Structure 1
Amino acid sequence: MELRQLQYFLTVAEELNFSRAAERLQITQPPLSLQIQHLESELGVLLFYRNNRHVELTDAGKVFADEVRKMLDYLRRAIENTKRTHHGEIGKLTVGFVGSATYDILPMVLREFRSLYPDVQVHLLELPTPKQIEALREDEIDVGVLRPPVHDENIRTEIVSSVPCVLAVPKQHPLVNKKDISLTDLAPYPFVMLSRKTWAGLYDEILGLCSPTIQQEAFEFQTVIGLVAAGMGIAVVPQSAMNLHTQDVEYIDLNNQFPAASMGVSWRRNDQSPLVKAFIKIAMETG
């Protein structure tokens, strides 16, 4: 049984006239009649009552027509969805992200991506950078929005944004009114640090710059700033976090004495997914 035979059968079933069906199919009537006979022979049932003046579906033919119509509709959808998936118009994309990306580039990237690809299912997983790298290796996420650097030759990373770091201190802190603050001025004050497990690069750079006395560590910048607001210490945070706890925290620009906070997107180097490519392109243009 061939797909062509089913299409021929359905056309005759719709027209109930072999001449009109042949005209629709752009073939002559004899080969059309022959294909219907072959189909009936293969099925072992009569599909049409026919004579020189009249063509009518048998009861078996009516059931077969309904089922063939469903099958061809399903096949058309399958072909369409396959093509749309190939072009990145539908499918599923799993994105890992660090918590601080939610007040950085992630909302803008997601809005743009969803507007361009509304039929793509986007699944989000909040993970620190080391966990994202592991998840990429294990094919658990398709793309990561994370804090560079990434040291893995099988994972490609592009920097999409970079903002200065600033000093977050509690309201009424002695440093608020001090002019020309240097790194040595920070020595008397305890620090709240973002955990090295979350962002090893920034952690190590701060330790190398000012050897802080660490009072407390936290896994996300939101928590770090909350602890600063509670008076637990001072902290180095990205400038993009300055809208957090503005009533309880002062942010001080130390004129680039701290490292910049970069945000990157990472994906498997051999991944050819059009959805991944589209997400990366949007992230780089948005950043």
Structure 2
Amino acid sequence: MNHYAGVTTTELRQLEYFIAVAEELHFGRAAKRLGLTQPPLSQQIRQLEDELGVRLLDRTNRKVRLTDAGRAYVAEIRQVLARLQAATETARQAASGAIGKLVVGFVGSATYDWLPPVIRRYQDVCPGVELILREMPTPAQMEALLSGTIDVGVLRTPAAHPDLHVRSIRRDECVVVLPVGSVLAKQDGVYMSDLRDEPLVLVARSIWPGLYDSVVTLCRAAGFGPTIRLEVTEVQTAVGLVAAGMGVSILPKATQNVHARDVRYVSIKGQAPVVELGLAWRREDDSSVVQRFLEIAQD
């Protein structure tokens, strides 16, 4: 027997008993269908009629028929039960995170490998959720999370705030992006010290502070201060400017999935900059939709 939120078991039982009798027009068949004996079924129908103050059925020794009130009542009850069933299913889906709305912020570089399969898997599992994606740099995601503009951030760590959970989900070593015509591009790998005389095209610190600081720190550890020729806001822009001969860049290995002519990705020998991708969400947010996305994203 189905159970619906907001209706007591007794009330629901009486309604379902009445529908069975109304459809069978025979107490014996209705009782068999319900798995009951006839006397308690007759008692429940009498009780329902007493509560309503109307006669729903005409009974004789030979047959049962609906009164006008009974016909009107059964038509309404079918609609009520259908709506209750739909409401109960909706509540259960919402509790499991299967329906609702989810706004996810993401850094563009997450789309090179990690994010697309996660989004596909999430949409397969939760097709009833309205998923909204917004590309934004890590600092903007932190602000959007705190203001409630987005629900989950896919961002670059380190990033921290006392009101947010931030969890690292993967680490990527960086490579050097070189113009194909450069001497270094012909090598199987380069050391950071090999970049001493190379102008750098970096993603701006305001956009990706972790990568920027790591590159500067490792250059200084290699014995030189980096010459930063250009700072850009997009990874694709950095690759394009390297192709144009404006310098070299240091970017995550996953960037190799971005097709660009006239550049070569070369591994870094020795210590290379490492970047992390993380998930962030509000500490007080116990939304089932958010928790379901986090489960799938970390599976």
* TM band (smaller chain): 0.7 to 0.9
Partner of 1:284: 298
Counterpart residue identity of residue 236, structure 1: I
Counterpart residue identity of residue 183, structure 1: M
Structure 1 residue 168 displacement after superposition: 0.8
CA RMSD between the two structures: 2.8
Q: 1:39 to 1:73 in 2, by over 3 A?
A: same
Matched, 1:172 2:181: yes
Q: 1:16 to 1:242 in 2, by over 3 A?
A: same
Q: Is the 8 A contact 1:168 1:251 kept in 2?
A: yes
Partner of 1:202: 211
Q: Is the 8 A contact 1:158 1:264 kept in 2?
A: yes
| Among 207, 214, 234, the residue aligned to 2:248 | 234
Matched, 1:151 2:163: no
Q: 1:153 to 1:62 in 2, by over 3 A?
A: same
CA distance in 2, matches of 1:177, 1:33: 89
Partner of 1:134: 143
Matched, 1:249 2:258: no
Aligned length: 282
Which moved further from structure 2: 100-109 or 270-279? 270-279
CA distance in 1, matches of 2:189, 2:46: 95
Partner of 2:44: 32
* SS of 1:7 mapped into structure 2: helix
Percent of matched pairs sharing the same residue: 43
Which moved further from structure 2: 194-203 or 178-187? 178-187
Partner of 1:99: 108
Partner of 1:71: 80
* SS of 2:119 mapped into structure 1: helix
Which moved further from structure 2: 155-164 or 30-39? 30-39
Structure 1 residue 180 displacement after superposition: 7.0
Q: 1:180 to 1:107 in 2, by over 3 A?
A: closer
Q: 1:58 to 1:248 in 2, by over 3 A?
A: farther
Partner of 2:117: 108
CA distance in 1, matches of 2:96, 2:160: 31
Counterpart residue identity of residue 263, structure 1: L
Q: Is the 8 A contact 1:95 1:142 kept in 2?
A: yes
* SS of 2:185 mapped into structure 1: coil
Matched, 1:225 2:239: yes
Q: 1:39 to 1:281 in 2, by over 3 A?
A: same
Q: 1:33 to 1:247 in 2, by over 3 A?
A: closer
Structure 1 residue 176 displacement after superposition: 2.0
Counterpart residue identity of residue 271, structure 1: D
